[in-house]
Structure 1
């Protein structure tokens, strides 16, 4: 079995379950957002603002954002480990991806929960 430094104790089954769970959560979030558009009809700033001021929507949005980031990390990590063989290049690309993903997470956090 090949051990990668960036795997941090994960295995294929763990990744498989995380990808499937995140896909299910993203599907449910998509249905939730589409339901809002279908029920509301004409959506303006006031409707959109009221929708996202609800606690459930904020929490569900953060869970969906975390799911997207987990899904992206596992997918890109697998592609990088399969196709980028030089260790330094692969490590640099993985580090850059982690920085971008953390940036997305904190941007979403501040946009959703900020003042």
Structure 2
């Protein structure tokens, strides 16, 4: 009879829980800091207009920072949705289909957001 406890315990699973937990916190923190910085520029600046808004994003450093935040948002959403599909959808075919749809949707949304960003 084999033991399933102690130092000889057989550990199964994908082993990416800590990595994804940390990624969720890091991406959430990055998005929160970006939001605060953007709000400060809007609140303490002059009257908001298209020119002001476009001016905020006209600097190269702001475009790069926004690009990183868009990618962080997509990865944050992917980790969350993947975990939901893995936890609650048991048939493998349906779960795989939902995961593929989620990836396609997130890549499309990120691509669209980046296209809008670089158009400014």
Length-normalised TM-score, structure 2: 0.85
Q: Which runs of 5+ in 1 are unaligned?
A: 4-9
State the distance in 2 between where 1:24 and 1:49 align: 25
1:18-66 CA deviation, whole Å, 9 max, x = no partner? 1111011011111111111112142001111111111121111111111
1:63-115 CA deviation, whole Å, 9 max, x = no partner? 11111111100011111100000000000000000000110111122111247
2:95 to 90, 94, 97: 90
1:39 to 41, 44, 47: 44
Q: Kindly tell me the number of residue pairs found equivalent between the two proteins.
A: 109
Preserved contact between residue 70 and residue 114 of structure 2 (Cα < 8 Å): no
1:67 to 72, 87, 91: 72
Length-normalised TM-score, structure 1: 0.88
SS of residue paired to 2:13 = coil
Q: Which runs of 4+ in 1 moved over 6 A?
A: none
Q: Does 1:55 align with 2:66?
A: no
